[in-house]
Amino acid sequence: MQTVFVNPERCIGCLQCELACAVEHSASQDAATAFLEVPVPRKRVHVEPGPMPTLAFPNRCRHCDPAPCLQVCPSGAITREDELGVVLVEPKRCIGCAMCAVVCPFDVITFHPLADGPGSEVAVAVKCDGCVDRVRRGDEPACAEVCKVDALVFGELNELVSAGSLREAGAVLAAAGVGATPLPGGDPLAGWRAWGAAERAARDASAGWTRENGHAGGNGSAGNHQAGNDQAGNDQGEQS
């Protein structure tokens, strides 16, 4: 299954994804004239502030399965596209009841008049459609195509999750002084080898500290036990 994967730690809040999304869903699909259209084209991805001033999060529809918005829509305006599995809204059937927004766990549905809606002043549900037209002709979704820092990447879900896991493991190991884990395509055991190297380094450091401090055991218990045995032997010798 292909989807847009979010790497929030990479987002710099440039809003290029929002602009590209709005232009892609405009009548002209021209950034220079799209803002002059009536009604104004609306974005489907929302860059929201993160927990710190320098962090941001590109929030978008996850196309849940099952999708709560689809389940509660009373007019049947929300459906699932079978080929790509994305959840779509038919603007002309939307009655603007906002039930979908109430149950959406990710707060990604907004309401605005649309050019293909029931009227220029009638607000209907607006959400990410996965750029189905672009994907069908072999292109990436607009938001992923314009993102220069890979905060939004498009591809097979399992491959993207695997790449993210290796990247995070590499960051942890690099912080420990071992070195980054290579991306998929190289040695499939590279992550385990790096982890083993980190474990050996930690074990050697612990053993070195133990030798320098004169302990037989890593936590000092074995050394204390040996000292106790020596003292018991001395006491027994004195009594005899």
Q: Give the up-direction half-sphere exposure of residue 176: CA atoms within 13 A in the CB hemisphere.
A: 19
Say whether both 10 and 101 belong to one domain: yes
Is 82 inside a domain boundary? Answer: yes
Predicted confidence at residue 222, as pLDDT, reads 45
- What integer pLDDT is reported at residue 202 of this predicted model? 76
**Residue 8 within a domain:** yes
Residue 181's SS3 state is: coil
Sort strands 110-112 and 2-6 into parallel, antiparallel or unpaired: unpaired
In terms of domains, do 138 and 192 share one? no
pLDDT at 218: 41
* CA of residue 51 relative to chain centroid, distance: 15
Let me know if residue 180 belongs to a domain: no
Number of structural domains found in the chain: 2
Residue 211: half-sphere exposure toward Cβ, Cα within 13 Å: 6
Residue segments in the chain with a per-residue pLDDT below the cut of 50 = 216-229, 232-233, 236-237, 239-240
Tokens 């590109």 identify what position?
58
Q: Hey, what are 220's tokens?
A: 């000092």
**pLDDT attached to residue 16:** 96
Residue 172 pLDDT: 62
DSSP letter (8 states) at residue 56: E
Q: What is the mean pLDDT of the chain?
A: 82
Residue 27 domain-assigned (yes or no)? yes
Q: What is the rounded distance in angstroms from the CA atom of residue 216 to the CA atom of residue 145?
A: 59
Q: Which residue has the tokens 């000292």?
A: 227
Q: What is the pLDDT of residues 67-82, one digit of tens each?
A: 999 999 999 999 999 9
Do 148 and 29 lie in one domain? The reply is yes
Alpha helices in 29-112 (DSSP H): 68-72, 99-103
Give the residue numbers spanning the domain of 219. 187-239
Do 207 and 133 share a domain, yes or no?
A: no
